[in-house]
Structure 1
C-alpha cells in the first residue's frame, strides 16, 4: 500500500483534499474493529449539528445546492456551473457558507440569476422548502444570505470595540447583545461552585424569546434532539464492544449527558474519559472547542475515533512522565506554577474517522478536557495524530515552498534534516505539557480574557513548546538527535508567523483566527524585542523578503520572556494586557509584505488549506448474517463522500 497509496484527492479554490491511511486497522481484533465501526457511525451522525451551529441558514442552503447539483440535467461544462460546483465544495469543506479558517463569507463565482436558472430546471419537489414556505419565499430568504456581501459577512467577528455577538453570524445567539450574554453568564457563574465551576453555556444557544433570555439546550428533547438521538443509538451499540469497564462507563456517562444536557454530568464524563488510559481504542464525541463563539463559551460539535500508535507513543509518554520537571523549570513566575502536576497522559494516535469540527479540516493535536478546574485537580489527556501528520508531510514533499521562502541552503538543510522530527515534537510539547502547565490565581474567572482567551491560551502552549525544544534535556532523553535540531522549528515558526501564514488571508484583511493571531503575536513580538540586537531580521535579497535568524540562543531567551508574561496574563486574568498584546502584535498586517507573499505563493500553484476525506468502513457478514470482519476502503471521492453523508446522516 505504501507505493500505491495516493494522498492527494483533488485541489480547488484555496483547498487541497487529501487521504489518510489508517495503518494497523487490519491488525485489530474483530471486537475492536466493531467498536471503531460503531463509534464512527456515532461520529458521522452529528454532521448537521455543526452546519447549524455555524449559521442558521447553512443547512437549507446546503440542501438546496445539493438538490440542484444532483438533479440538474443541463450543461455542466460551462464556467458558471463549474463555479457553482466549487462553491458547493467549499460549503462542504467549511461546514457552512463562511470560510472555515478566516470566517469571511464565501463569495459565489456565479450570479443569483444563474442559480435561479438552475433551480427552474429541476423538479420543485426535490427542493428543501420548509413547511408553509413557497419556493419564492425560500429564495427571498436565502439569496441575500448567499449573494449579498453585507448580510452575515462574518461567522466570528473579533474586531475590537464592536458588539461581537450581534456582528457574528454563528448560530449561538439570537436576539441578544454581547453585554446581555456576558451579564447572563456572569450571574450563572456567581450562583455556581467557586472551586468546581461547570463550563456555563457550553451546550446551548442563548436566545431572547418573548423578551426573556433563555438557553436552548442541545440534548434529547431539546435543540438538535434528532441528531443526538441517532448519536446515542450508535454509542449504545459501541458500548457492547467496550474494551473494559472504564471505557464502558465513559460511553454510559456521555449518553447520560446527551440525554440530560447536565453540565455536571459532562464534568463527571470528562474526568472518567481522561482517566481511561488503558483502552487501545479512544474517541471524542461532543461539544468541545469554543473557537467558533466570539465570546469563547459555546462549543462546536466534533468527533474523532482513533487507536493508539504504541511505537510512536513512547515519545509522548516520555514527555508526560517528566511533566513536573517541565513545570518546575519553566521561566514563569513561581506564583503561577503548579506545585503538583496531576494526571498528565499523552499518546500518539492513528485517526480512524474525523467528523464535525474536525472534518474535513482537522487539528493534528488535541489536549482535553478544557475545564480549568478538572485540569488542575485531575489532569488532562493529550494526543498527537500521527497518520494525519504523515499525510501532510507526504503531500508537501517537493512542492517548491521551501525553495521559494527559506532564506538560504543553510536553513533548508536544517529543515530537510530535522523539520519532520521537530514539528511533531513541538506539537507534542504544546499539547502534552503546554496546555497543562500553569495555574489560575484563586478567584480568577477562567473566562476573564473573554474574546482574547483562545489566542492567549494557544500562545502559552506554543511558547512552552518552543522554549523547551532547545533544552539540553531533550537531547539527553533522546527526543531530538542533537543540539542543532531545535533550530529547524525555530526558523520554521518565525518564517510562518512573520510571513508565510499570510497566504491564508485575503488582501486588505486583518488576522482574526486565534491560532494565526497567536503565531503572529509571538513572531512579531520577538522581532521587535530583538530588533536592536538583530536576533531575527526581515531581509530583502534580489527583491524578495526573507526571515533570517542570527542568534538562536537569544531567540530562545525571548520566547521564555514572552512565555512568562503570557502566563502572568492568563494566571491573573489581566484582560487589558491580553487585549494590548493581541491587538498590537497579532492583528494588523503589513500590506506591502502581504502582497509580496501572496504573489510569490501564487506562482507555486499550491493550496494554503488542506483537509481530508475519510476512509469507508463496511461490515462483512457470513450467510447467517453474522459479522465476520470490518473492511476499510480508501476509494471514495470528495463529492461522492459529501453527498453520501448528506443522504445517510441528515438528521436536522
Structure 2
C-alpha cells in the first residue's frame, strides 16, 4: 500500500564489469553500489544521528529472515558456516552452485525468491552439502548440528515450503504459504479471530491495526493466541538492540524527532499498537527534520491476509534541490483531488497534511535490503491518513544508481518498436518515472476516501494489488495532464508519452521475464501493472489504443493513441476507487483474477528468450555504505562514509555483527 517497486524496463541491467555501480552478478540478480551525495556536508549532529539510526536499521535483519520462513535462519547459518570453513576445491561446479544459492538466500532474506515467492531449486546435491559439512569440525556449527536434517529437507524437498506467499483463490492461504506469520492456524480460524477483535472495536474512529506486530499461533491447550513482537516477547533479542540504537539516536535528535523516537521505543517495549499510532501521528506531522527514518513492522504484502507486517528500515535525509517538484505537487494536492475522475462522494473534500520530498537514502535494512522500493508513502492506517495526512518520499540516489547501472544494456533496441518512442524514452524516461513515482506516492495513496461504515480491510488478499493499482492509475492519469506543463514540472506532454509507452510495454510484456515458465503472476506490484495494462488493452481494442504488433517474428506492445489511453486510465481509476471506497470484495476479486494473474505461455516464452539473450538481470539490489565514528580526546568529531564493493563480505559481516536471534523462534 505504501511503496513502489522498480519495474522491469530500460533500467534493467548493465554491461559486465560496469564499475563502480555493479559489484556482483549471479542468477537473475545484479548487486549495485549506491552513493550518498551530500553526506559529508551535513552537520556533525546529523551525521551522528544517521550513524545510530543506521545501526538500528541493521539490527532487525534476522527478524525478516524468520518472518519469511521458520527455517530461514538455520539454513542461512549452515550455509554461511560451510562457506567460511570449507577447505575443499572451490572451483567445482557444485561449489559454485552452492555459493550462488547462498547469495540468493542473502538477497531474498530466505529460501524463497524475493519477487516470485517460489522456493529456490538448488543446483547442488544433498550429498555434496553433507560431504562438505563433514569436512568441517562440529564445533563450528554449534546448535546447528541438531537441525541438519531439517535444513536439508528445507533445501532439497520440493514439497516442503514450496511458496512463501500463496494467493490462489480457493486455497487455504495460510496453510499453503510458508511465511512465519501464522503457525498451525487455518485461514478460517485467523479470519474469525480478527473478526471478533474488529467487532469489539466497532465504532472506534481510531481503529487499532490488530495483528500487525504478532505471530498468530496456538497455545498448549489449542487456544488461538498471539506472540507479540516486542521487548520480552517474540524477537526480543533483536529488538533489544534496535531499542539500544534508537535510544542512542534519541539522545542526539532534536524536537520533534526526539519525542517521536521515544514513542517508537515505547512501542517496541510494550508492543502496544496504540503507541505505534502515537508514533505515526508524530512522525507524519514532523515535516522539518532533515534526517528521517522508517523502522518497524510496516508493510503487509507478505501476509496472504494483508494484516501482519514485515520488519523494515530506511535512513535518509532530504535532497533539497530535487524537492522542488514534490513541493509543487504537494502545494497543489487539493487541485488534483478536486479534478480526479473518481465519483465526487469518494474524493476528499479537504486534503490534509500531504508532505512530500525527494530523499537521499543513507541506509537500507530489513525488507528494504538488498532490494528496495524507490518510493514510499506512510503511514498505512487509513484513519491517520484522513486526519493527519501522509508523508511521501521518492528515493533519488537509488533511482540514479539503477539508471547508471542500465546504460548500454540494449533493452530499448530489443523491445521498443518505434524510433520515436525510443527517442522519447531516452530523453524523458527518467523524468517520467520520477514524476509517476511522485504522483503515486505523494497523492495517489493519499487520495480518495472510504464510504461510511467501510473500515479498509474488506478487500482481504486482493487489497494490496488493488491499492497499488489505484495509486498507479492516479499517477498515470495526471502524468498526462496539461496541469503538469502549467506547473513547470514537465516541458511538454511528450514526457507522458514516454511514461505511457514504457509502462504498457512493461506491464504487458517485459515484466514477464521475471516469472518462471509455467507460473502465474503472484507479486502484488506485478499484478497491479498487468491488471492496468490488460484492462486498458481490452477496453481500447476496438480503437487500437494499444496494439500488439508482430514484426520479424517478434511481438511489440505499442501505444497508438495516448489521449484515449489516458481516458482509459481515468475510467479505471474511477472503478478501482469505487471498489476500495465501498469495500466491494467480489468486484475487486473479479478484476484481479480476470486481468492480473494468468500468463500467455507463448508470449511468456518469447519475452524470456529475448530478454535473457541480452545478458542482463531482471532484478537489482544494493550493498550499503559503511559508517565509522571518528573520535578525538573521547569526543565524536566526525562520521566517515565508505562504499564497499564486496557483496559477500557485507553479508558475512552482517551475519557476524547483527545476528541476534536463536535458530528457531
Shorter-chain TM-score above 0.5: yes
- Corresponding residue of 1:61: 75
CA–CA distance in 1 between the matches of 2:522 and 2:239? Answer: 31
SS at match of 1:129: helix
Which of residues 570, 579, 593 in structure 2 aligns to 1:569?
579
Does structure 1 retain, via aligned residues, the 8 Å contact 2:197–2:210?
Answer: yes
Report the alpha carbon displacement of residue 629 of structure 1 after superposing the two structures with TM: 1.0
- Corresponding residue of 1:549: 559
Does structure 1 retain, via aligned residues, the 8 Å contact 2:527–2:592?
Answer: yes
SS at match of 2:177: coil
CA–CA distance in 1 between the matches of 2:644 and 2:495? Answer: 38
- Corresponding residue of 1:378: 388
CA–CA distance in 2 between the matches of 1:109 and 1:10? Answer: 19
Equivalence map 1:476-515=2 (5 Å): 476-515=486-525
Which of residues 243, 246, 251 in structure 2 aligns to 1:240?
251
Does structure 1 retain, via aligned residues, the 8 Å contact 2:375–2:394?
Answer: yes
Q: Could you say what the CA RMSD is over the residues aligned between the two structures, in angstroms? A: 0.9
Which of residues 266, 283, 290 in structure 1 aligns to 2:300?
290
SS at match of 2:408: coil
Which moves more between the two structures, 95-104 or 440-449?
A: 440-449
SS at match of 1:270: helix
Post-superposition Cα deviations, 1:112-155, rounded to whole Å, max 9, x if no partner, equal 0000011000011111525xxxx3x5222221111111111010
Post-superposition Cα deviations, 1:313-352, rounded to whole Å, max 9, x if no partner, equal 1110110111111110000001111111101100000000
- Corresponding residue of 1:182: 191
SS at match of 1:179: helix
Which of residues 32, 51, 57 in structure 1 aligns to 2:65?
51
Post-superposition Cα deviations, 1:394-417, rounded to whole Å, max 9, x if no partner, equal 111110000000012111011011
1:214 aligns with 2:217: no
Does structure 2 retain, via aligned residues, the 8 Å contact 1:17–1:638?
Answer: yes
Does structure 2 retain, via aligned residues, the 8 Å contact 1:317–1:346?
Answer: yes
CA–CA distance in 2 between the matches of 1:445 and 1:432? Answer: 22
Which of residues 224, 237, 262 in structure 2 aligns to 1:226?
237
Which of residues 30, 33, 51 in structure 2 aligns to 1:19?
33
Does structure 1 retain, via aligned residues, the 8 Å contact 2:624–2:644?
Answer: no
Does structure 2 retain, via aligned residues, the 8 Å contact 1:44–1:649?
Answer: yes
SS at match of 2:476: helix
Does structure 2 retain, via aligned residues, the 8 Å contact 1:511–1:586?
Answer: yes
CA–CA distance in 2 between the matches of 1:313 and 1:237? Answer: 29
CA–CA distance in 2 between the matches of 1:299 and 1:485? Answer: 36
Post-superposition Cα deviations, 1:17-37, rounded to whole Å, max 9, x if no partner, equal 001000000000111100000
- Normalising by structure 1, what TM-score? 0.98
Equivalence map 1:417-496=2 (5 Å): 417-496=427-506
Report the alpha carbon displacement of residue 483 of structure 1 after superposing the two structures with TM: 2.4
- Corresponding residue of 1:83: 97
Does structure 1 retain, via aligned residues, the 8 Å contact 2:57–2:314?
Answer: yes
CA–CA distance in 2 between the matches of 1:535 and 1:251? Answer: 50
Report the alpha carbon displacement of residue 627 of structure 1 after superposing the two structures with TM: 1.6
Which moves more between the two structures, 187-196 or 574-583?
A: 187-196
- Corresponding residue of 2:272: 262
1:401 aligns with 2:411: yes
- Corresponding residue of 1:169: 178
Report the alpha carbon displacement of residue 626 of structure 1 after superposing the two structures with TM: 2.0
- Corresponding residue of 1:307: 317
CA–CA distance in 2 between the matches of 1:287 and 1:180? Answer: 23
Report the alpha carbon displacement of residue 264 of structure 1 after superposing the two structures with TM: 0.6
1:650 aligns with 2:664: no
Does structure 2 retain, via aligned residues, the 8 Å contact 1:63–1:128?
Answer: no
- Corresponding residue of 1:341: 351
SS at match of 1:407: coil
- Corresponding residue of 2:141: 127
- Corresponding residue of 1:153: 162
Does structure 2 retain, via aligned residues, the 8 Å contact 1:60–1:128?
Answer: no
- Corresponding residue of 1:280: 290
CA–CA distance in 1 between the matches of 2:535 and 2:337? Answer: 24
Does structure 1 retain, via aligned residues, the 8 Å contact 2:313–2:368?
Answer: yes
- Corresponding residue of 1:525: 535
- Corresponding residue of 2:593: 583
- Corresponding residue of 1:325: 335
In structure 1, runs of 5+ residues without a counterpart are none
In structure 2, runs of 5+ residues without a counterpart are 1-17
Which of residues 633, 637, 646 in structure 2 aligns to 1:637?
646
Post-superposition Cα deviations, 1:188-216, rounded to whole Å, max 9, x if no partner, equal 01112531111110000000122100000
CA–CA distance in 1 between the matches of 2:63 and 2:644? Answer: 27
Equivalenced residues, count: 642
SS at match of 1:287: strand
- Corresponding residue of 1:619: 629
- Normalising by structure 2, what TM-score? 0.96
Does structure 2 retain, via aligned residues, the 8 Å contact 1:615–1:636?
Answer: no
Does structure 1 retain, via aligned residues, the 8 Å contact 2:74–2:147?
Answer: no
Post-superposition Cα deviations, 1:578-628, rounded to whole Å, max 9, x if no partner, equal 100000000000000000000001110000000000001011122x23222
CA–CA distance in 1 between the matches of 2:525 and 2:197? Answer: 29
Larger RCO (CA within 8 A; separation ≥ 6)? 2
CA–CA distance in 1 between the matches of 2:536 and 2:251? Answer: 53
- Corresponding residue of 2:111: 97
Does structure 2 retain, via aligned residues, the 8 Å contact 1:194–1:443?
Answer: no
Post-superposition Cα deviations, 1:356-406, rounded to whole Å, max 9, x if no partner, equal 000000000000000001001110000000000000011111100000000
Report the alpha carbon displacement of residue 5 of structure 1 after superposing the two structures with TM: 6.8
CA–CA distance in 2 between the matches of 1:522 and 1:5? Answer: 36
Which of residues 250, 257, 263 in structure 1 aligns to 2:260?
250
CA–CA distance in 2 between the matches of 1:33 and 1:88? Answer: 33
SS at match of 1:240: helix
CA–CA distance in 2 between the matches of 1:128 and 1:352? Answer: 35
CA–CA distance in 1 between the matches of 2:646 and 2:422? Answer: 35
Report the alpha carbon displacement of residue 445 of structure 1 after superposing the two structures with TM: 2.4
SS at match of 1:485: helix
1:9 aligns with 2:19: no
